[in-house]
C-alpha cells in the first residue's frame, strides 16, 4: 500500500509546482496594416485600428518614418500612448501577447513587438531588430523594456520575463529598461 502511495504523492508534488510556470502563456496576432482600418492618412502621418488579441484594441501610427503602437479601451487616459523606438523603423509581422490566468481566465498583460530598425534616415531596412515590451495596465500602458535581438541569443526569453513581471512599472516615473546587451542604438 505504501509503495502505491509514494508515486502518487510524488506526482502531486510535481503538479503543484507546475502552476508557477503555467501562469503565463503566449498568443500571437498578425500585424498586417492591409488588414487594419485606416483612420487617418496623408503624406506625413497615418493611423490604423488593427485587430488585437480577442478584440483587445490595438492602434498603430506612422509619422516621420517611425511606427508606434498603442493599446487599450480608453486611449485618452493613457499618458504614454503611441510610443516608438528611437531610430527610423518599421514593425515586425506579428505581436506576441503575454497572457495571465491570474483571474481564472487568460487575459493580456503585456505585448512583445519586434521593431526592425532602418540603416540611416532613408528608411531602408537595416540589420538591427529590437523587441519592445509593453505592459497593458489600463491607465498605465507603456513600454517597459527593450531587448536587442542580434546582441542577445536569448532575446525572446528576456522579453517574456519582462512581460511576465509587468504591472509594477510606473509609466509616469520609470524609464524602460534595456535588457541584456544593446548595440542597436
pLDDT class for 1, splitting at 50, 70, 90? very low
Report the alpha-carbon angle 126-42-59, nearest 5.
Answer: 65
For residue range 16-72, list pLDDT tens digits in order.
333 444 499 999 999 999 999 999 999 999 999 999 999 999 999 999 999 999 999
3-state secondary structure of 17: helix
Span 140-169, pLDDT tens digits: 999 999 999 999 999 999 999 999 999 999
pLDDT over threshold 60, residue 13: no
pLDDT band at 14 (very low <50, low <70, confident <90, very high): very low
Grid cell locating 30 = 498578425
Q: Which long-range contacts (CB under 8 A, 24 or more apart) does 48-52 make?
A: 52/95, 52/97, 52/108
pLDDT tens digits along 72-125: 999 989 989 899 998 899 999 999 999 999 888 999 999 999 999 987 656 566
Residue 167: Cβ within 10 Å count: 15
Residue 7 has pLDDT above 80, yes or no: no
The pLDDT, as a whole number, for residue 107 is 95
Amino acid at each position: 500500500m505504501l509503495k502505491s502511495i509514494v508515486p502518487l504523492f510524488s506526482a502531486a508534488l510535481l503538479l503543484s509546482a507546475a502552476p508557477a510556470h503555467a501562469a503565463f502563456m503566449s498568443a500571437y496576432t498578425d500585424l498586417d496594416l492591409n488588414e487594419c482600418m485606416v483612420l487617418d492618412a496623408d503624406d506625413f502621418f497615418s493611423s490604423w485600428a488593427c485587430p488585437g488579441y480577442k478584440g483587445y484594441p490595438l492602434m498603430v501610427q506612422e509619422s516621420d518614418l517611425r511606427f508606434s503602437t498603442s493599446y487599450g479601451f480608453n486611449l485618452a487616459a493613457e499618458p504614454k500612448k503611441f510610443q516608438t523606438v528611437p531610430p527610423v523603423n518599421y514593425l515586425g509581422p506579428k505581436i506576441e501577447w503575454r497572457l495571465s490566468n491570474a483571474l481564472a481566465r487568460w487575459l493580456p498583460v503585456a505585448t512583445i513587438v519586434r521593431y526592425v530598425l532602418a540603416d540611416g534616415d532613408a528608411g531602408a531596412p537595416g540589420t538591427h531588430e529590437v523587441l519592445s515590451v509593453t505592459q497593458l495596465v489600463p491607465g498605465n500602458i507603456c513600454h517597459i523594456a527593450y531587448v536587442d535581438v542580434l546582441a542577445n541569443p536569448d532575446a525572446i526569453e528576456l522579453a517574456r520575463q519582462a512581460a511576465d513581471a509587468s504591472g509594477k512599472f510606473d509609466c509616469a516615473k520609470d524609464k524602460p529598461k534595456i535588457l541584456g546587451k544593446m548595440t542597436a542604438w
